[in-house]
Amino acid sequence: MKISTFGYSMKQGVKNIGRNKMFSIASIATMAACIFLFGLFYSIVINFNYIVEKAEEGVAITVFFDDDATQAQKDKIGKDLENADGVLEVNYVSAEDAWNSFQEDYFGESSELAEGFKSDNPLANSDNYEVYMADVEKQADVVKFAEGLDGVRKIKKSDIVAKTLTSVNRLVGYVSIAIIVILLAVSVFLISNTVTMGVTVRREEIAIMKYIGAKDGFVRAPFVFEGLLIGFIGALIPLVMLYFMYEKAIQYVMTRFSLLNNIIDFLPVVSVYRTLLPVGIALGVGIGFVGSFFTIRKHLRV
């Protein structure tokens, strides 16, 4: 496309928006609402996934050894677990560490109650490996692998927690897809209607241009630019709004519910917008292009 043709198409695209102010404003507003909801939902989902991932990192299985297992066997079990698919980290817990942890959990400040076991560790054969997984869905596979290792006596796991986290991840994924599809469909429909109005107003002009030999690309370009511009503006407005609202919302939540400060963390706005900004702009521009391109194509036959 020549520079002069490009400039003409841009100019006509802007004029089209001016000719159909009400429909253009309605399309921009609808696009902005859709992208705002998308950005809001994305921010919630990505933070929720971040919190779930942190929770998954705390889910571990405990691998206990046979009573007659040698140190060499225990070392080999540890190396095999570290190399297993889906394993994030493997920590060795000695019998002394296990007993100290038990005392802190059950005796608390009344440590004198445990003095009777000072010379006789009741957890002498409880040294183990704590195995943390990168993905909690891998727990069943890791457990099956560990059960097949020579020298493993018992494995302690939390199936309920693993299943709950897995179900939550899947549910969030399904809901996300459904909402995104609905928002995209509504946006395309509105922009399509706006472009249709522009085509209707200029139907005679388009027919004349076609009769004197104008190519489809030349006729289509202004309407495509119109759709792109509507999509870009409709995406930029809510993204700017969400940027300033995000941190204020987190500050409000942390202040209003101070108990959450030591329980959960939220992603900083920079981390969220690293993906949200390009995706949001791409969605707006892409929806504008699709809505305008396929709408004008139906009206090029004269």
Tens of pLDDT, residues 55-73: 766 678 888 888 888 888 8
Note the pLDDT of residue 133.
80
φ/ψ region of 55 (left if φ > 0, alpha if ψ in -120 to 50, else beta) reads: alpha
φ/ψ region of 290 (left if φ > 0, alpha if ψ in -120 to 50, else beta) reads: alpha
Note the pLDDT of residue 201.
62
- Short-list 20, 83, 31, CA closest to 232: 31
CA-to-CA distance for 240 and 227, rounded, in angstroms? Answer: 20
- Short-list 227, 60, 187, CA closest to 128: 60
Note the pLDDT of residue 113.
47
CA-to-CA distance for 64 and 77, rounded, in angstroms? Answer: 10
CA-to-CA distance for 267 and 56, rounded, in angstroms? Answer: 17
Residues of the chain with confidence (pLDDT) below 50: 107, 112-114, 116-117, 120-122
Amino acid at 164: T
- At 62, is the secondary structure helix, strand, or coil? strand
Helices (H) and strands (E) in the chain, counts: 9, 4
Amino acid at 67: D
| 85, 90, 95, 98 alpha-carbon torsion, rounded to 10° | -110
Q: Are 285 and 235 in contact (CB under 8 A)?
A: yes
- Short-list 170, 182, 244, 168, CA closest to 37: 182
Quick count: other Cβ atoms within 10 Å of Cβ 22? 9
Buried b / exposed e across 123-150, counting CB within 10 Å, b at 16+? beebbbbebbbebbbbbeebbebbeebe
From residue 242, alpha-carbon distances to 33, 42, 62, 84 in Å are 11, 11, 43, 42
Q: Are 24 and 198 in contact (CB under 8 A)?
A: no
CA-to-CA distance for 159 and 163, rounded, in angstroms? Answer: 6
